[in-house]
Every structure is written in C-alpha cells, then in structure tokens.
C-alpha cells in the first residue's frame, strides 16, 4: 500500500453566494453536519471560511471561535481557518483570525490577481503572519497560487525558519484566473521547485481544472484538497450536490493509486499539529 492520502475539504469559501447555491454550508449547523459527513467519507482536515447571519463572508471573532469549538466537539478533523478571507477583508482583520486558536491557518505566499479582484498578500503581512502563527503554536498551510510564490516560500523559510510543529505543508491552488494554470505542466513545475523543507503538499484545481489537478497530484505523489470552495460542478452539466460527494470521489481516485485516506490522527502527525 502506498502512502496514505491526506484529503482536505474546503466546504464553503468566500466567493459563492448562498442564494446561487443553496447546498453551500453557510450556517454553523450546516458546516458541522458537512464536516461530520466529510470526515465519515474520508477527509482528515477542514479548511474553513465562516459566514454571518445573512450568509455573507465574515471574520467576526465570535463566529470564528464558536466555529472552531463546534468543529472540535463534533469531529476529529484538523481545523484550519482561512486567513485569506475574502478579497475585501482588511489585512488586520485577517491577522486576527489567529485569535480563534485553530489547529492550522492558511497562509498565502503572495498577492494574486483573483478574477477581476486582487487577493492582497504583501510580503510584510506574510512575514508577520508566519511569525505570529509560530508564536501561538498554530501550524500554517502555505497556499501557493502562482509559481513565483514557490520562490517566495523558499525566501520565507530561509529568512524566518520553520513554522510551529517543524513540518512544512503546502497547498497548490491552481486555476484561479490570475494565478498558475490548473494543468499537469504547471503542477510539475511547482512541485519540482518546492523548497527542501517541504514535508507534504496537496493540490486543488478551481472549477474545470478540478479533475486534471486531482489526477496530476495523485500521479505525482501529492495530497488532495476538494470542496465547494473550489468547484460547484461535479461533471459537465451536473452541479455538485454536497461536499461529501467530492470527498467520496477523492477517496475513490486515491484508491486507484492504492492510497487509503489518512485519518485525522495520522494527519496531525504528518502536519506537526499538536507536536
């Protein structure tokens, strides 16, 4: 049997409106139910964006703290909060996500055109977030949207050292309009250049690049992130019905590569969470 497969589910994101997609989990109850279903299906980590009472993206401290507690109480999943938020969130509010004390946070390695918007991640913010996460013992997942961000990660690790837990986990977010393409060639180029400190990596393809990136990642020995944050179409003309549907497909694809899903406990060890 080959190495276990880490499956991260990103169930909600900050870009899709509930009114356009009623199946999107935007309330706490919906998020908890989704997380439980995805854990049962084979996910080991959940990447979380939260919404307010009107289903709009928020970084409200109370909502974040309550969400972390509820997910810990109802699942064993590694709980990763997004510090990316939405493209409209100020950097200071994104930094305060750390106050909710999740197991992990996402940490994007550079500013990226994001469709018609700009996802701001200036270098001083990246460094501050890296330092602040380490001070609090929160493990980052380094999000790379572009090939230049591979180099930025090397620069960060060279100058600032390893994060909390001593492991370095990367997620390649591919196919964002303005970032690296969701193709096998872009994935191979990114992986070939990852710094030596990287201990694990996953990939996710946005929209129609979901399946090509999933297959490319598996064939290159990577892990997977799936979920309605990244894709709302299961197959041409067939909307995604639930996040668990996407997790089950990832488990099935992993089985073809003889890679059983990693348990949350295995994931904690691999990622340096609770180290």
In this structure, what token pair is assigned to residue 109?
Answer: 């390695």
C-alpha–C-alpha distance, residues 120 and 91, integer Å: 8
Please state the closest distance from residue 57 (CB atom) to Zn ion, in A: 10
In a 3-state reduction of DSSP, which class is residue 164?
coil
Contact of residue 86 among Zn ion, ligand KMH, none (CB under 5-8 Å per partner type): ligand KMH
| 3-class SS of residue 238 | strand
Q: How far is the CB of 253 from ligand KMH (least distance, A)?
A: 23
**Spatial distance between the Cα atoms of 71 and 88, rounded to a whole number of angstroms:** 26
- Which of 14, 180, 218, 270 is the binder for ligand KMH (CB under 6 A)? 14
Q: Is 75 in the site for ligand KMH (CB under 6 A)?
A: no
Residue 47 C-alpha from the chain's centroid: 5
By a kind-dependent CB cut-off of 5 to 8 A, residue 108 interacts, out of Zn ion, ligand KMH, none, with ligand KMH
Q: Provide the 10 A C-beta neighbour count for residue 11.
A: 27
For 124-155, letters b (16+ CB in 10 Å) and e give ebbeebbebbbeeebbbbbbbbbeebbebbbe
8 sits in which H/E element: strand 7-9
Q: Are strands 104-108 and 50-51 parallel, antiparallel or unpaired?
A: unpaired
At residue 165, φ and ψ (nearest 5 deg) are 90, -20
Identify what 87 binds: ligand KMH, Zn ion, none; CB under 5 to 8 Å per kind.
ligand KMH
Using CB distances below 5 to 8 A depending on partner kind, what does residue 119 bind out of ligand KMH, Zn ion, none? ligand KMH
Compute CA 90 distance to the chain's CA centroid, rounded to the nearest angstrom.
Answer: 20
Residue 82 or 202: which CB sits closer to Zn ion? Answer: 82
| Residue 12 touches which of Zn ion, ligand KMH, none (Cβ within 5-8 Å per kind) | none
Burial readout 106-122 (b: 16 or more C-beta within 10 A, e: otherwise) = bbbbbbbebeeeebbbe
Q: Alpha-carbon distance 31 to 268, whole Å?
A: 21
46 makes contact with ligand KMH (CB under 6 A) = no
CB of 141 to ligand KMH, least distance (A): 8
Q: Which one, 107 or 152, has the nearer CB to Zn ion?
A: 107
Pick between residue 14 and residue 186 the one whose CB is nearest to ligand KMH: 14
Triad 209, 212, 217: Cα angle to 5°: 115
Q: Which one among 87, 132, 147, 194 touches ligand KMH, defined by CB under 6 A? A: 87
- Using Cβ positions, the residue closest to ligand KMH within the complex turns out to be 84
- Joined together, the tokens standing for residue 262 give 């990693």
Q: Which of 58, 67, 86, 210 binds ligand KMH (CB under 6 A)?
A: 86
Q: Which of 75, 106, 200, 242 binds ligand KMH (CB under 6 A)?
A: 106
In the region spanning residues 62 to 121, those forming contacts with Zn ion, defined by CB under 5 A, are: 82
Residue 126 is a binding residue for ligand KMH (CB under 6 A): no
- # residues near ligand KMH by CB under 6 A: 13
- Which residues sit at the interface with ligand KMH, rule CB under 6 A? 13-15, 82-84, 86-87, 106, 108, 114, 119, 143
Residues that bind Zn ion (CB under 5 A): 82
């Amino acid at each position: 049997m080959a190495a276990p497969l880490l499956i991260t589910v990103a169930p909600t994101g900050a870009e899709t409106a509930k009114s356009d997609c009623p199946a999107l989990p935007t309330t706490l109850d919906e998020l908890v139910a989704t997380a439980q279903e995805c854990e049962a299906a084979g996910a080991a980590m959940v990447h979380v964006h939260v919404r307010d009472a009107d289903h709009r993206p928020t970084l409200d401290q109370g909502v974040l703290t309550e969400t972390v507690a509820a997910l810990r109480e109802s699942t064993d999943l590694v709980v990763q909060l997004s510090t990316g938020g939405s493209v409209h969130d100020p950097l200071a509010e994104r930094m305060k996500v750390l106050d909710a004390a999740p197991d992990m946070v996402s940490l994007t390695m550079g500013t990226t055109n994001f469709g018609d918007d700009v996802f701001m991640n200036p270098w001083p913010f990246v460094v501050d977030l890296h330092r602040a996460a380490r001070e609090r013992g929160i493990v980052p997942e380094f999000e790379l949207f572009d090939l230049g961000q591979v180099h930025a990660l090397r620069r960060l690790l060279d100058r600032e050292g390893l994060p909390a837990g001593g492991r370095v986990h990367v997620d390649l977010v591919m196919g964002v309009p303005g970032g690296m393409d969701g193709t096998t060639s872009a994935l191979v180029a990114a992986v070939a250049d990852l710094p030596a400190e990287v201990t694990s990596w996953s990939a996710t393809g946005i929209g129609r690049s979901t399946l090509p990136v999933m297959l490319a990642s598996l064939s290159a020995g990577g892990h997977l992130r799936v979920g309605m944050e990244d894709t709302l179409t299961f197959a041409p003309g067939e909307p995604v019905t639930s996040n668990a549907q996407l997790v089950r497909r990832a488990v099935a694809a992993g089985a073809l590569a003889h890679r059983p899903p990693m348990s949350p406990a295995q994931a904690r060890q691999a990622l340096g969470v609770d180290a």
